[in-house]
Amino acid sequence: MDSERRRDFIREIVRRDVERGTYGGRVVTRWPPEPNGYPHIGHAKSIVLNFGIAEEFGGRCHLRFDDTNPEGESMEYVEAIMRDVRWLGYDWGEHLYFASDYFEQLYAYAEALIRAGKAYVCSLSLEQIRASRGSVTEPGTPSPYRERSVEENLDLFRRMRAGEFPDGAHVLRAKIDMASPNMLLRDPLLYRIRHKAHYRRGTEWCIYPMYDFAHCLSDAIEGVTHSICTLEFENNRALYDWILENTPGIEQPRPHQYEFARLDLSYTVMSKRKLKALVEAGVVSGWDDPRMPTLAGLRRRGVRPEAIRAFCERIGVTNVNSTVDMALFEHTIREDLNHEAPRLMAVARPLKVVLENWPEGESQWIDAPLWPRDVPREGTRAVPFGRELWIERTDFRERPPEGWRRLAPGREVRLRYAYVIRCEGLERDPETGEVTALRCRYLPETRGGRNPEGRTVEGTIHWVSCAHAQPAELQLVDRLFSVPDPDAELAAGRQLTELVHPGSLEVVTGWVEPRVAELAPGERVQFERLGYFYAAPEQHRPGERLVFVRIVPLKDRWAAREQERAREALERARAEKAREKEQQRRRTQQAARRPEELPAPSPELARARERFMARWGLGAREAALLTREDETAALFEASVEAGAPAEAAARWILNEVAGLRRQLEVCRPLAPEALARLIGLVEAGRIGGPAAKRVLATMLETGEDPEAIVEREGLERIDDAGALEAQLEAIWAAHP
């Protein structure tokens, strides 16, 4: 990739700092994984960015394990992460670090903050701390332990370190601002007690630093210049800067944090916790299952690191979150393999073809290219051809649909590199009726694509000679999830295991041409029309057992499925539109007569109609609409009796109440007195129309009093300019 294609806002920042000499020309980045799982394709974007920037600007990139949480961390994950970073093509040299090696220094920094009056030991429970933080619109409540003396804080913190207190008894908090618009600055936690062995430090420590405290100080200890992380840490930047600015001993120039959009990929999840759940549930065979989006899984599947790096470069670096289509990733893999994988033939789901006019026992060897015309590589292989052949069962239809271009009774198809054949008969299993073989004839004059009679043969299929074919296990790997956005489905209440694509792994025994048996473990090949495959190193043994994992299909079959679904949805939409049009026609006919012209449904409602017009001055139309049902008439009359103006009550009942009752799944009875109070709030100008509709919806769902809803949701109008300005200032401060 040339430098122009690599330009992005992060690189521009680094370039500016280098030109200004901000860090004396130094560029030091870091990739700081937590060793609690295997890295996935989302992590690859950060790895490529951090190591790539260091390489481009003559700097260095550190590999640092942020291992400050003893739960779930292990050396297995450390080794897996190191292995995957090296596989991607990056080397940290001597700059391998662990945050756990800094525990003594971080502890000393914490004591320095206590001495400076910038940190204190808090004895509230975590639940109490959360409850005291306030909300976006309300400041937090200071801890009753916030003003402990320096001496008392140091004594308690040292006793925490010595193991005198149980988990949760105390925490160390920064003393910042309990009214800060950024809630992360409302005295955040710096240390917590955790009596659990650390995978590297054993039981030496029973207090552990929080990520926000350890991360920025580790950057400073290592001399990192540009701390690059993903957008979910954008609000944490203020805390990152506060700790570095207020911790004694941290000198300028300090590291600075920059955020970029992480990689979200359709048809997958980017959460180690969720991926770990699949492993523990046995849904996949492990972190390196070839269906997994982990780097180990992609490696075992046969994806080359060059393809992953090219994909990360292709999607670029932005500061706006978005989801990348899995089809783009698969396309990048195909582009990479197109120049690396020779072409051979294999049949995954075999159906036998017998050429009745081919001499028995005779074979012919046909030269076929190893590379397509658009790849500047040369080479051919000899492919045997004989009387009996294997073709794909999916290339034959006994009753072909319209537009079918492959084999069918009485139809012709071209065998790739060989002859045109015509299907003239079938053989069936006598018990099941399934087609077991096709009786065909080959056309000798059509060898190698020749067509002397000018016949039109639209389809070309692949094949393998039965007499020379080798059996092979084909592991047909597909996308792990069946829905484009699994996280959205999980948020809607579905279970992770429900979303797994049932056809994500299909293992079949197929047949391959003889040249395939010569492939060494780890080689990649394109089986024509089937996809790119990988000779699985841990299973593939030439001469004994041939095992191939499908890296990626040749075509985006999922796009075809989506197109088919879209066509079906369009047809359903058209049918629904036609039904709606017919229903609308009928409603129009029914509504041709004005409501006031229709008789009331009962004598009681007829009397109510007259009463509404005579007593409260309603028009004939409104009175007729209100008296179509007993419930509506009763609600109107009782609401007016409770103090609601008649015209306003009629308007709200006919327009808003009726509409919401049709929309809401759960709808409670509406008390007339509550409706009258809501209308009174609107008439008095205390709330606006949109807010009133929101209150009404809540009343119908919960049965709450309208004034209580207004107070809880903060919906009352602000007429004082000063109060409004204060609200706006708070919003701007929270969202700069």
Integer Cα distance of 457 and 414 in angstroms: 7
Burial of 577 from C-beta contacts in 10 A (0-12 / 13-18 / 19+): exposed
Q: Taking Cα atoms as reference points, which of 536, 508, 478 lies closest to residue 299?
A: 536
Is 34 assigned a catalytic role? yes
599 three-class SS: coil
> In 3D, which of 312, 341, 360 has the Cα closest to residue 525?
341
Residues near 604 by beta carbon (within 8 Å), at least 6 away in sequence = 630
Query: Does 33 sit behind a cis peptide bond, omega within 30 degrees of 0 on the bond before it?
Result: no
Phi, psi (deg, nearest 5) at residue 712: -65, -40
User: Is the CB of residue 16 less than 8 Å from the CB of residue 53?
Assistant: no
Q: Could you tell me the two tokens for 225? A: 């210049």
What does the alpha-carbon distance between residue 659 and residue 652 come to, in Å, rounded to a whole number?
Answer: 10
Of the chain, the end-to-end C-alpha distance in Å amounts to 35
* Half-sphere exposure in the Cβ direction for 302 (13 Å, CA): 31
- Consecutive H or E run containing 123: none
3-class secondary-structure state, position 354: strand
Sheet holding 207-209, edge to edge: 119-122, 171-174, 189-193, 207-209
DSSP assignment string, 398-449:
SSPPTT--SB-TT-EEEETTS-EEEEEEEEE-TTT--EEEEEEEEEGGGGGG
* The pair of three-digit structure tokens given for residue 731, joined into one six-digit string: 């919003």
Tell me if residue 51 falls in helix, strand or coil.
helix
User: Residues, the chain, total?
Assistant: 736
Q: Closest Cα partner for 133 from 190, 189, 191, 183?
A: 183
Catalytic one among 175, 237, 272, 550?
Answer: 272
Q: Report residue 693 as tokens.
A: 């509709």
- CA 8, CA 228: separation in Å to the nearest integer? 13
**Main-chain phi, psi angles of 432, to 5 degrees:** -95, -20
**CA of 152: how far to CAs of 111, 119, 123, 128, 187, in Å?**
12, 12, 12, 21, 18
Selecting among 133, 262, 276, 393, the annotated active-site residue is: 262
* DSSP secondary structure string for all residues of 540-586: -BTTTB-EEEEEE-SS-HHHHHHHHHHHHHHHHHHHHHHHHHHHHHH
Task: Let me know if 424 is a catalytic residue.
Answer: no
Identify the active-site residue in 6, 11, 15, 34.
34
In SS3 terms, 390-405 reads as EEEHHHECCCCCCCCC
Q: Please name the helix (run of DSSP H) or strand (run of DSSP E) that holds residue 594, with its range, or none.
A: none
601 backbone dihedrals φ, ψ, rounded to 5°? -65, -20
Residue in 68, 86, 67, 87 with CA at minimum distance from that of residue 77: 67
- C-alpha triplet 175, 179, 181: angle, nearest 5°: 110
| 620: its two tokens | 């004939």
Active site annotation includes 111: no
Task: List the catalytic residues.
Answer: 34, 262, 272
